[in-house]
């Protein structure tokens, strides 16, 4: 029996991999940088208890802090990226563990700064800014620090909380989860109708679940879910620990709940989350209509979850990587030559993108980089419309980093997840519009509808459902209720049942294990931001595409803002107010219009 397998990492073409040598030329250089950071940590600790000596001392402390954090950021970025593309590489995994520990040490070393600044007093600090011009760039930082001051603990407590970033990471999945799902988890192969076996891996599952062969889709979806179900208790233990970690940090910093802790950090009202969930539930009938249309389009008597990504046409467009880059550059042209040139250089000469498909490559796709590195992208490119979409999405993130790092000092060189998903979905909205206008082949148009609905399905159906799951699970943990794999599977299944309605055949356990397949749930209330992000993205894209004066310039300023302003303020300056439900409602109108477009094709018998 023939079997298709994934190649080992060492056999993939160099041009399909990212250029990590732009960070460190070799592992030896990485080890040297690692040691240099460790040796610099006493330099920053020497300022502890000395910041009240005056503005000059504060400026010197900030200079050393930024040097330590920037260099440790490069060390951890290199190591994590190296490990991500081959989880089975034990040496790389070891370096990733070392890097995480070093970054945790670095955060602990600088953890005294905020409590000491709070103790000095903000009236004094404001006066010091007038005396020392170099301190004036920290005005927003200090304004935000004053806002957060009720939740900043003593130097000793802050040091302990900083040390927990290694064993209890808040922005990445724990090592145990990453190793389990990317290296140790094994899946029974998918099968074609004629009996050929296809290897299931994290870098191949997406393409298998959208295969034209229904038997491939069914076996891929079922066997992928079964792989997670086999470890449901271990995965539930890891996930529960993450929810308890969030509750711990919320209590440690005097927040009423994990949700409020997550939102307050970026000055986002709870109403933003509540508006999203309410509008999502109100618009579930649009999804029910879509499931019905897909069933009719394919002529199925019953519609299953594994049919959601079934292609609407057998003539799927083949889109090689270079063609995708060309189309993306054309679609992003309204943002100007500088944006397009940076994007093209990153995709071609500078090798930002690791697009190879290989055994051991971790699940999903992401953009990653720190101040002083390239904005790298990890994905598995499949020469299809969905890979073009993923590349477009991640380039939105990478160009966001590119503009932020070019225009902001280190202190504002990061931005919140809340605005990150706006940039990625903005790119997809522009490229989709460009391709709808320029690629008139009926099969290509159908493929674009598939891509659009796949994107909305992930960000406007799966992610809000996961957000509801996350909210309820945090509540249970915070109130001391018992949680286990079975109760988590049951809750997840119930929420998806509401979303699927009576249109989708229900497989409780396989649907219920969905929470285990998303590492995003290890990042405290991350998933809802995909839905607010796609809402803000479509509002801003509409401004640019309709030719509103200054729209492109406003958007580029938004990309350049970093954390120099609060997220909602940056978005308002660009032209969208996400404190109101209207952007979410309008994005659902865009979704409904795509469903209308598909319905007209189905009614005319063109699908």
How do 3-4 and 197-198 pair as beta strands?
Answer: parallel
The span from the CA of 436 to the CA of 459, in Å, is 21
In the DSSP assignment, the letter for residue 373 is: S
Q: What phi-psi label fits residue 426: left (phi over 0), alpha (psi between -120 and 50 degrees) or beta? A: alpha
The span from the CA of 362 to the CA of 368, in Å, is 14
Residue with tokens 């803002």: 561
How do 376-378 and 353-354 pair as beta strands?
Answer: parallel
Closest by CA to 393, choosing from 445, 483, 332, is 332
The span from the CA of 197 to the CA of 217, in Å, is 12
The span from the CA of 270 to the CA of 579, in Å, is 9
Asked if 364 contacts 187 with a C-beta cutoff of 8 angstroms, the reply is no
Structure-block tokens of residue 323? 């063609």
Identify the three-state secondary structure at position 509. Answer: helix
Closest by CA to 422, choosing from 550, 298, 226, 576, is 576
Helix (H) / strand (E) containing 80:
helix 55-84
Which residues in 13-30 are b (16+ Cβ under 10 Å) and which e? Answer: eeebbbebeebbeeeeeb
How do 376-378 and 366-368 pair as beta strands?
Answer: antiparallel
The span from the CA of 64 to the CA of 46, in Å, is 10
Structure-block tokens of residue 541? 């894209």
The contacts of residue 290 (CB under 8 Å, 6+ apart) are 453, 595, 598
Instruction: Compute CA 271 distance to the chain's CA centroid, rounded to the nearest angstrom.
Output: 22
Which residues in 173-205 are b (16+ Cβ under 10 Å) and which e? Answer: bbbebbbbbbbebebebbbeeeeebbebbbbbb
Helix (H) / strand (E) containing 496:
helix 485-500
Handedness of CA 452, 454, 455, 459 (dihedral sign): positive
Handedness of CA 485, 488, 490, 492 (dihedral sign): negative
The contacts of residue 560 (CB under 8 Å, 6+ apart) are 403, 404, 406, 407, 408
The span from the CA of 261 to the CA of 249, in Å, is 8
Asked if 312 contacts 447 with a C-beta cutoff of 8 angstroms, the reply is yes
Asked if 447 contacts 457 with a C-beta cutoff of 8 angstroms, the reply is no
Catalytic residue among 105, 158, 222, 394: 394
Q: Is 394 designated active site?
A: yes
In the DSSP assignment, the letter for residue 203 is: T
Active site residues per annotation:
394
């Amino acid at each position: 029996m023939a079997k298709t397998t994934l190649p080992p990492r060492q056999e993939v073409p160099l041009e399909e991999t990212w250029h990590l040598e732009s960070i460190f030329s070799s592992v030896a250089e990485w080890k040297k940088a690692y040691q240099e950071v460790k040796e610099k940590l006493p330099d920053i600790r020497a300022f502890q208890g000395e910041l009240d000596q005056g503005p000059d001392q504060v400026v010197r402390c900030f200079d050393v802090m930024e040097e330590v954090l920037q260099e440790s950021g490069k060390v951890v970025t290199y190591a994590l990226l190296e490990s991500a593309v081959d989880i089975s590489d034990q040496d790389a995994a070891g370096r990733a563990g070392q890097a995480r520990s070093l970054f945790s040490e670095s955060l602990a070393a600088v953890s005294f700064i905020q409590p000491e600044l709070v103790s000095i007093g903000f009236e004094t600090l404001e006066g010091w800014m007038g005396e020392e011009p170099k301190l004036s760039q920290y005005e927003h930082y200090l304004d935000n620090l004053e806002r957060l001051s009720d939740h900043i603990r003593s130097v000793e407590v802050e040091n302990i909380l900083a040390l927990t970033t290694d064993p209890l990471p808040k922005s990445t999945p724990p090592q145990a989860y990453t190793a389990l799902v990317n290296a140790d988890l094994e899946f029974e192969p998918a099968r074609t109708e004629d009996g050929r076996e296809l290897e299931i891996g994290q870098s191949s599952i997406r393409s298998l679940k959208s295969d034209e062969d229904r038997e491939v889709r069914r076996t891929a979806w079922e066997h992928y879910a079964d792989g997670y179900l086999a470890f449901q208790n271990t995965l539930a233990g890891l996930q529960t620990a993450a929810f308890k970690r969030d509750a711990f940090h919320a209590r440690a910093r005097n927040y009423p709940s994990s949700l409020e802790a997550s939102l307050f950090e970026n000055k986002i009202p709870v109403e933003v989350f509540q508006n999203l969930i309410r509008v999502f539930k109100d618009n579930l009938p649009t999804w029910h209509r879509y499931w019905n249309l897909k069933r009719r389009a394919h002529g199925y008597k019953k519609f299953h979850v594994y049919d959601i990504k079934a292609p609407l046409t057998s003539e799927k467009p083949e889109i090689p990587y270079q063609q995708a880059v060309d189309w993306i550059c054309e679609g992003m042209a309204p943002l100007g030559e500088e944006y397009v040139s940076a994007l093209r250089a990153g995709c071609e000469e500078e090798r930002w993108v690791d697009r190879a498909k290989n055994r051991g490559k971790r699940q999903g796709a992401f953009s990653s980089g720190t101040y002083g590195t390239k904005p790298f992208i990890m994905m598995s490119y499949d020469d299809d419309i969905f890979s073009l979409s993923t590349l477009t999405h991640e380039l939105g993130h990478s160009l966001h980093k590119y503009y932020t790092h070019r225009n902001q000092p280190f202190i504002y060189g990061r931005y919140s997840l809340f605005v990150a998903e706006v940039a990625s979905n903005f790119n997809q909205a522009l490229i989709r519009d460009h391709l709808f206008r320029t690629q008139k082949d009926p099969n290509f148009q159908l493929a674009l509808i598939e891509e659009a609905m796949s994107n909305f399905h992930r960000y406007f159906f799966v992610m809000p459902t996961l957000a509801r799951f996350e909210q309820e699970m945090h509540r249970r943990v915070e109130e001391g209720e018992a949680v286990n794999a079975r109760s988590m599977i049951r809750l997840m299944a119930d929420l998806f049942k509401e979303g699927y309605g009576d249109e989708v055949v229900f497989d409780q356990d396989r649907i219920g294990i969905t929470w285990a397949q998303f590492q995003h749930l290890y990042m405290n209330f991350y998933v809802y931001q995909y839905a607010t992000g796609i809402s803000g993205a479509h509002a801003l894209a509409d401004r640019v595409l309709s030719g509103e004066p200054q729209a492109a310039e406003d958007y580029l300023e938004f990309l350049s803002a970093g954390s120099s302003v609060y997220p909602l303020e940056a978005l308002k300056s660009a032209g969208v107010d996400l404190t109101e439900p209207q952007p979410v409602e309008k994005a659902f109108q865009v979704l409904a219009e795509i469903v209308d477009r598909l319905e007209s094709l189905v009614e005319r018998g063109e699908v």
